[in-house]
Structure 1
Amino acid sequence: MKVVIGRRLGAAALALLFLAAPAAGHAAADPARDPGTVVSNEALPTSAEVAGASGSRQLTYWTEGPRGEAALSTGAVYLPNGTAPAGGWPVISWAHGTTGVGDDCAPALGFDVTSLTRDYVSAWLTRGYAVVATDYVGLGTEGVHAYLHGRSEGRAVIDMVRAAREVTPELSPAWVAVGHSQGGHAAMFAAHEATKYAPELDYRGAVATGTPANLEHLFPLGGPGFPNLGLNGLTAFAAYVVAGLQQARPDLPVDDYLTPRGLELVETAKSMCFLSLHKYAGPIGVGEIISRPLDNELFRSALRDYLAVPTTGYDRPVFIGHGLRDQTVPYPLGAKLAADLQLAGQPVTFRSYDAFHGSSVFEALPDTTAFVRSLFGTA
């Protein structure tokens, strides 16, 4: 615990020093804050270990925050058993699903992630891939995590590869983005700009399952009396998005659109991890937290900028998978994303599975394994 607390204080101090620096010291002018630069390399907490790893580390590194500023993220590096092949271990940059938006919810700091996540990361390790896993900006570092802010999450996924390679010589520059749920959203953004954002790396493609796409079309429908749609965790997810909007867009009058109950729930969401918040928010409907309709150009534009998954501009293959029984991110959202990509002539493969949200990532594993192997030329 002393190690974790010390690292948090150190990361917070570094962030505060950066915020106090003059404008001329922005990240672009200071190599010490270049994206992917490691500021801390420590032992991973036991609670963050996964089976099948022969070595693991906890990193803190520079990336980009939701306002375009230099910001710190934490993450983990897991190496598979055995000797690295010539050229180094091929890399999976894993983007995790929803854990929360507060520091206590960061997987690399020891947050008790689900066995599903542990088993999934282990599955890639046993297949001979190194796994690097970002926590995203604000989880374990200064500020509130801007949940589902696509640009900053995608860059954290890319910069995690840079950071891991800085301290781990066994890693190849060849890498693939893989994410599920929130992480599927992050992986899509990483896929969209990986080659131009990090040209020194060898980005091969991406896998995104259970991806919460097209939410920018749904959120503006919210307002007083919004019905209960029967979706698992909807109110908790909405509270996280609102908290993220407050972080990314302080110019927006977000609080003016929340009821007193909504203000309380969003404030609670900033420190409560997902399972606890899901239970806490269970009886509360989305219509009870919004005081007036969001269907205006101010919020429609802000939500597009914040949430919308790009449907053009991909230069490497992308695999999208979705469960037909998904009650968290309904199947039509993922199917529409895939259809829009296909209509735009993007290099996308889409598969559906007779599975729920959590189980779909494992149902897809045979297909995603074959897909990733083809990207690395080992099929």
Structure 2
Amino acid sequence: MSRLASRVIALVGVFVLTITGLVTASVAWAAPQPEAGTVLSTTDITDRRDAKVAGAGKVIAMTYLSEDPKGQLIPVRGTVMIPAKAPRPGGWRVLGYAHGTAGLGDQCTVTGRMGFEGRYDDWLGPWLKDGYVITATEYAGIGGPGVHAYLDGEVSGKNVLDSVRAARTVVAQQGGSTSSGYITSGASQGGHASLWSASLAGTYAPELTNVGGVASSPPVNIADYFQLLRPGVPPVAVPDYVTYFSYVMAGLKVARPDLDVDSYLTPLGRKVVEDAKTLCYPNQGRATRGMNVGQLIARPFDQGPLIPALREATGVPTSGYGAPMLVQQGTLDPVSFAPLTTQFVDEMRTDGADVDFRQAQAGHGLGAWAETEALQWSNAQQWPGR
């Protein structure tokens, strides 16, 4: 082979490699990026024991993408319940349901077994019978990668909104259609998540129409009373309060790994908080029976960075609500204190929120009547196409 021919072949090789590299780079650059709310998988569990709530025609377990505390998209589990009732003109309305405290561990899932012994029939059944698709998230870290950051409001709020996005895809896959309008609702931890969802709706999910939000017994301003905690205080055992405390501390450790939470805890406190990562609510309650929070604390919580970090992670915005809100509160609530909720609602109103605040002589669990009241309130709002 002549020297000229060798050079020609070499130049052709370089040209081919360059073009191949440019095409590969172009394809990589153009490849679609995963988006929040993308459905990764679905399973029809309608006939599975304990899956079906009264009024549901189909029940679909799903995995979808949503954010974790680091802002990364991860697989999150959830369940979509499609009504047996035919949709309204314009499609079924959507309820983004945020469940209450069940635990942080992977086995502490709730949404795929809401039909157990009819426990949710009185709570969520009326929504289904009225023609609402219900989408319920497990929250990031429960039954999926990572550890659940309990009461990290921004994460749970986005998890709820992404479940609404995902539910619309799931319903379409099943041959149905949904309205662009949705409402969120939840109690306790779910009330906290529902508030965050409503405050984020306009900026995080602007393609959807947030009709309103419902929050029952929401834990707001919890840093205000956690800052009173110190060694030996409180000195009495309050039923389930150690469980709640342990979940808050475990969630803070996930949300703020840079914070030395253990330095505020006694050896017993560290064990209880470590157990909270895996023990679901009933088991953690049994494991901590007879303990009091004061036993778990090694130094005052108002010293150092703990309270500012807790306030940042768990605090709820008082502004940003572009749709009406219904807040329900028990005056005898031993966990989410009525005076703190009243103060929070006053701040929301000062910041321009439209809040319907209703109180009842009740404790932390308001009962199924609260969801029935929420449904009536929801139907009175302005829905797209109405």
Residue in 1 aligned with 2:7?
none
Question: Which runs of 5 or more residues in structure 2 are unaligned?
Answer: 1-29
Q: Which amino acid aligns with 1:374?
A: A
Residue in 2 aligned with 1:24?
none
**Contact 1:125-1:131 within 8 A present in 2 as well:** yes
Residue in 1 aligned with 2:346?
339
SS in 2 for 1:136: coil
Partner residue of 2:360 out of 349, 353, 360: 353
Residue in 2 aligned with 1:146?
149
Query: Are 1:320 and 2:294 matched, yes or no?
Result: no
**Contact 2:330-2:364 within 8 A present in 1 as well:** yes
Question: Which runs of 5 or more residues in structure 1 are unaligned?
Answer: 1-28
Residue in 1 aligned with 2:225?
218
1:11-22 to structure 2, matched below 5 A, reads none
- In the aligned structure 2, how far is the partner of 1:339 from the partner of 1:310? 12
- In the aligned structure 2, how far is the partner of 1:111 from the partner of 1:363? 18
Q: Which amino acid aligns with 2:379?
A: R
The 1:116–1:341 alpha-carbon spacing in structure 2 relative to 1, beyond 3 Å, is: farther
**Contact 1:37-1:163 within 8 A present in 2 as well:** yes
**Contact 1:355-1:363 within 8 A present in 2 as well:** no
**Contact 2:236-2:292 within 8 A present in 1 as well:** no
Sequence identity percentage: 37
The 1:195–1:229 alpha-carbon spacing in structure 2 relative to 1, beyond 3 Å, is: farther
Tell me how far 1:84 sits from its aligned partner: 1.6
User: What TM-score, normalized by structure 1, do the two folds share?
Assistant: 0.87
Q: Which amino acid aligns with 1:43?
A: D
Residue in 2 aligned with 1:176?
183
1:116-155 to structure 2, matched below 5 A, reads 116-155=119-158
1:184-333 to structure 2, matched below 5 A, reads 184-228=191-235, 231-333=238-340
CA RMSD of aligned residues (A): 2.2
- In the aligned structure 2, how far is the partner of 1:361 from the partner of 1:255? 36
Tell me how far 1:33 sits from its aligned partner: 2.9
The 1:242–1:114 alpha-carbon spacing in structure 2 relative to 1, beyond 3 Å, is: farther
SS in 2 for 1:60: strand
Output one character per residue of 1:193-224: Cα deviation in whole Å (capped at 9) or x when no partner. Answer: 11211111111110101111110211222221
- In the aligned structure 1, how far is the partner of 2:41 from the partner of 2:333? 38
Partner residue of 1:373 out of 362, 373, 379: 379
The 1:311–1:115 alpha-carbon spacing in structure 2 relative to 1, beyond 3 Å, is: farther
Tell me how far 1:313 sits from its aligned partner: 1.9
**Contact 1:67-1:249 within 8 A present in 2 as well:** no
The 1:119–1:291 alpha-carbon spacing in structure 2 relative to 1, beyond 3 Å, is: same
> Which structure 1 residue ranges, 4+ long, deviate > 6 Å from structure 2?
111-114
The 1:130–1:195 alpha-carbon spacing in structure 2 relative to 1, beyond 3 Å, is: same
**Contact 2:104-2:148 within 8 A present in 1 as well:** yes
> Comparing both structures, which one devotes a greater share of its residues to helix?
1
Tell me how far 1:91 sits from its aligned partner: 0.4
**Contact 1:104-1:111 within 8 A present in 2 as well:** no
Output one character per residue of 1:292-347: Cα deviation in whole Å (capped at 9) or x when no partner. Answer: 11213511221111111111221111110111222332322322221221233311
**Contact 1:322-1:331 within 8 A present in 2 as well:** yes
Tell me how far 1:229 sits from its aligned partner: 6.2
How many residues matched? 350
Tell me how far 1:116 sits from its aligned partner: 4.6
Query: Are 1:48 and 2:55 matched, yes or no?
Result: no
Tell me which structure has the larger Cα radius of gyration.
Answer: 2
- In the aligned structure 1, how far is the partner of 2:144 from the partner of 2:271? 23
Tell me how far 1:355 sits from its aligned partner: 2.2
- In the aligned structure 1, how far is the partner of 2:91 from the partner of 2:114? 29
Residue in 1 aligned with 2:36?
35
SS in 2 for 1:279: helix
Residue in 1 aligned with 2:70?
67
SS in 2 for 1:352: strand
**Contact 2:261-2:306 within 8 A present in 1 as well:** no
The 1:288–1:30 alpha-carbon spacing in structure 2 relative to 1, beyond 3 Å, is: farther
My pick for the range that moved more, 50-59 or 274-283, is 274-283
- In the aligned structure 1, how far is the partner of 2:219 from the partner of 2:115? 23
- In the aligned structure 1, how far is the partner of 2:281 from the partner of 2:31? 36
Q: Which amino acid aligns with 1:137?
A: A
